[in-house]
């Protein structure tokens, strides 16, 4: 398995989203990526190997330490859930030892089963997880995708690690411009969430199976180089035209969830400018799941850059 493929899998953990309730906005559950971060810690420390990840107190403690920083609303501190449910991702198996036999774990493990329950990476990820550089890249991907707010706390604010730069370089070939998405994983995620539809004009052109031939780009609201934020709420699917116009601050998505257009645009000058002008006041075309709607901070940032 290539590192890029592994990062794609990590970007696509389907952690589940909440509904809006008791006035709290919907959000993605943090459990699966938190457990994987805890596992990478244990492997770094020699307390686990990719082929034997014990269900143990150290794992629970590392899960809880980050959980307390990122929990939202009614999230529960339950590392046993992802320990079991990560098995649906196709790269994780959980087992229990019964005498000399190992049998597949049938349900979430209990605290009293520590010492008997363990998990392992499969499907090729186990080879990557054995390599310190690949573990760093995987940790970096998990933080950028799920918990960009933790980067500062974990002391990785300033540097883009080597693996990150490699991902950028690899992406340039497919995507032309680095700022148009750090990684193929972000692009796939955004196109999937937006169902390949431009959030400005609604254009959807998809030539065949696979995202690489889509006409639609994955745009960051606050550029990745500045934010290191690959969370889908920092993204937007846009056609080439509207991506171009947004990146030149001619159009901007604003916190009122409508498009705003720079007064520099003169609709009398050309059909092209008239079309951009007509976007003013139109609603953003957003994904169905409100947990993935653009966040206020990114919209404010874009809106503030609109050329006056």
Which residues of the shown chain bind Zn ion in the complex (CB under 5 A)?
198, 200-201, 203, 239, 242
Q: Is 12 within 8 Å of 191 (Cβ atoms)?
A: no
Nearer to Zn ion, 129 or 239 (CB): 239
As given in the structure block, the two tokens for residue 21 are 């309730």
Tell how strand 101-104 and strand 92-98 pair up: antiparallel
Buried b / exposed e along 163-180 (16+ C-beta atoms within 10 A): bbeebbeebeeebeeeeb
- Residue 122 buriedness (CB in 10 A; 0-12 / 13-18 / 19+): middle
CA distance 3 to 234: 23
Q: Is the Cβ–Cβ distance between 135 and 40 less than 8 Å?
A: yes
Q: How far is the CB of 250 from Zn ion (least distance, A)?
A: 13
Shortest Å distance, C-beta 30 to Zn ion: 33
Cβ contacts of residue 172 below 8 Å, gap of 6+? Answer: 178
Of the pair 145, 242, the CB lying nearest Zn ion is at 242
Residue 239 or 261 with smaller CB distance to Zn ion: 239
Q: Among residues 216 and 299, whose Cβ is nearest to Zn ion?
A: 216
Q: Is the Cβ of residue 39 or residue 198 nearer to Zn ion in the bound state?
A: 198
Indicate the residue among 200 and 286 with the shorter CB distance to Zn ion: 200
Phi, psi values for residue 244, rounded to 5° = -60, -50
CB of 88 to Zn ion, least distance (A): 35
Residue 92: how many other CB atoms lie within 10 Å: 24
Our CB check for Zn ion shows the closer of 198 and 261 to be 198
Distance of closest approach, residue 246 Cβ to Zn ion, in angstroms: 10
Minimum distance, C-beta of residue 289 to Zn ion, in the bound complex (Å): 21
CA distance 139 to 147: 11
Give the nearest distance from C-beta 245 to Zn ion in angstroms: 9
CA distances from 131 to 26, 67, 159, 161 (A): 36, 26, 20, 15
Spatial separation of the C-alpha atoms in residues 306 and 42, rounded to whole Å: 46
By beta-carbon proximity to Zn ion, the closer residue of 53 and 200 is 200
CB of 265 to Zn ion, least distance (A): 15
Contact residues for 188 (Cβ-Cβ < 8 A; gap 6+): 8, 11, 12, 211
In Å, what is the CA distance from 192 to each residue of 4, 11, 44? 17, 12, 33
From the CB of 195, what's the least distance to Zn ion, in Å? 14
């Amino acid at each position: 398995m290539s590192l890029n493929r592994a990062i794609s899998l990590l970007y696509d953990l389907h952690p589940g989203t909440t509904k809006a309730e008791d006035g709290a906005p919907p959000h993605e559950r943090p459990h699966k990526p938190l457990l994987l971060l805890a596992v990478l810690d244990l492997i770094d420390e020699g307390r686990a190997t990719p082929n034997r990840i014990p269900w143990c107190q150290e794992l629970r403690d590392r899960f809880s330490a980050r959980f307390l920083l990122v929990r939202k609303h009614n999230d529960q501190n339950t590392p046993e859930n992802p320990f079991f449910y990560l098995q649906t991702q196709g790269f994780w198996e959980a087992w229990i030892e019964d005498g000399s036999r190992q049998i597949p774990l049938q349900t979430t493990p209990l605290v009293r089963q520590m010492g008997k329950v363990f998990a392992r990476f499969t499907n090729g990820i186990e080879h990557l997880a054995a390599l310190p550089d690949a573990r760093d890249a995987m940790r970096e991907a998990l933080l950028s995708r799920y918990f960009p707010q933790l980067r500062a706390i974990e002391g990785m604010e300033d540097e883009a690690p080597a693996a990150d730069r490699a991902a950028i370089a690899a992406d340039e070939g497919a995507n032309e411009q680095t700022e148009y998405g750090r990684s193929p994983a972000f692009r796939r995620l955004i196109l999937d969430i937006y169902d390949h539809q431009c959030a400005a004009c609604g254009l959807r052109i998809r030539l065949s199976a696979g995202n690489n031939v889509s006409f639609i780009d994955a745009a960051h609201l606050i550029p990745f180089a500045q934010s290191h934020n690959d969370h889908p709420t920092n993204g937007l699917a846009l056609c080439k035209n509207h991506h171009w116009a947004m990146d030149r601050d001619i159009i901007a998505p604003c916190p009122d969830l409508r498009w705003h257009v720079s007064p520099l645009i003169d609709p009398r000058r050309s059909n092209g400018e008239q079309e951009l002008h007509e976007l003013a006041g139109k609603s953003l075309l957003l994904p169905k799941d409100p947990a993935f709607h653009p966040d206020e901070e990114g919209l404010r940032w874009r809106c503030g850059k609109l050329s006056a």
